[in-house]
Amino acid sequence: MDVQVYITYIVATAASIMLYVISSVTLFKQLARVLGREMLIVLRIAMILLSISVFLAFTSYLYGAHEIFVLIFTLFIVSFLVIVMGARHVLEEYVTGIFASKAYDLRVGDYIEVGSIKGYITALDDTSIIVKDSRKGLIHIPYTMLTHTPFKRVKPEEGYEIRIQVFLPHEVDVERILEDARKIARELGLDDAKADIESIERSGVVILVRGLTRDPRREDEIKYSILDKLYRSLSQPRTS
């Protein structure tokens, strides 16, 4: 065996082993969390076939074994397609999750609303977002759902704005109701609570009560409490 052939075998062996080790450490380690056992076996076979293909790509010309190289590489392509077709939905969620979590800056503790699902993010899984709803239940939201459905996300430090419109007839003391609304909003824990006249109509006045809450799950509770207390205030007799 001359020096050139010897070097070719060394380079081919090193390249194939390096490819197998790198793919095992990176690709296999990542996909092991999302693929089933059967798909992992096929993936391992595909990685072995790819490593053999690399070895034959370097050495096949020495003995004219191009047919063997083509055969092994074809088997690798087939096994790779089997993985892609068999686990396409899982892989789609996994790849989407890598980009979506960074593009939307999703973090544990954020409040999110997707369709009828509302709650706090408790974990960012490989293929889904885990949300805890108001009933303390855990809901898995696929990452691809974020790309097809409008959603709202609130950072804890930003706060969630609550806005309530209230119609008042002209004979009501509007200034008193506005002051009561601000007081009620502050008592319910709203930050930067405000109450102002939004519009004046022929039949009455529309006021807007708004403020920030750190717990968006309390939105309905706060709205109903403000409306209930305001209508109680409206029922009180006017003082001259």
Q: Given a cut of 80, is residue 199 above it in pLDDT? A: yes
On whether both 13 and 72 belong to a single domain, the answer is: yes
Among the residue ranges 81-90, 99-108, 112-121, 185-194, the one predicted with the least confidence is 81-90
Of residues 210, 214, 209, 213, the one with CA closest to residue 233: 209
Tell me if 144 is assigned to some domain.
yes
Q: Look at the chain and count its residues.
A: 240
- Return the pLDDT at 33: 67
CA 117 – CA 113 distance, rounded (Å): 6
CA 107 – CA 129 distance, rounded (Å): 10
On whether both 148 and 189 belong to a single domain, the answer is: no
On whether both 111 and 82 belong to a single domain, the answer is: no
Q: Given a cut of 70, is residue 238 above it in pLDDT? A: no
More reliable by pLDDT, 34 or 118: 118
Q: Could you tell me the pLDDT band of residue 209, with boundaries at 50, 70 and 90?
A: very high
More reliable by pLDDT, 51 or 165: 165
User: Residue 70 is part of which domain span?
Assistant: 3-86
CATH of the domain at 187: 3.30.70.100
Crossing angle (nearest 10°) for helices 66-86 and 88-103: 70
More reliable by pLDDT, 60 or 185: 185
Strand order in the sheet with 191-200: 160-169, 204-213, 191-200
Tell me if 92 is assigned to some domain.
no
What mean pLDDT do residues 84-112 have? 81
Residue finishing a domain among 59, 86, 113: 86
On whether both 144 and 174 belong to a single domain, the answer is: no
- Return the pLDDT at 240: 47
- Return the pLDDT at 64: 64
Tell me if 98 is assigned to some domain.
no
Residue finishing a domain among 41, 61, 86: 86
On whether both 150 and 166 belong to a single domain, the answer is: no
Tell me if 37 is assigned to some domain.
yes
Tell me if 67 is assigned to some domain.
yes
On whether both 9 and 75 belong to a single domain, the answer is: yes
Contact 180, 233 (CB under 8 A): yes
- Return the pLDDT at 90: 78
Place of tokens 């109450």: 195
Tell me if 94 is assigned to some domain.
no
On whether both 169 and 146 belong to a single domain, the answer is: no
Residues 8-58 have pLDDT tens digits of 778 778 888 887 887 777 766 667 666 767 777 777 777 888 787 878 777
| pTM (predicted TM-score) | 0.52
Which residues sit opposite 195 in a β-bridge? Answer: 209
- Return the pLDDT at 65: 63
CA 222 – CA 214 distance, rounded (Å): 12
CATH of the domain at 139: 2.30.30.60
On whether both 110 and 185 belong to a single domain, the answer is: no
| Number of structural domains found in the chain | 3
157 — phi, psi (to 5°)?
A: -75, -20
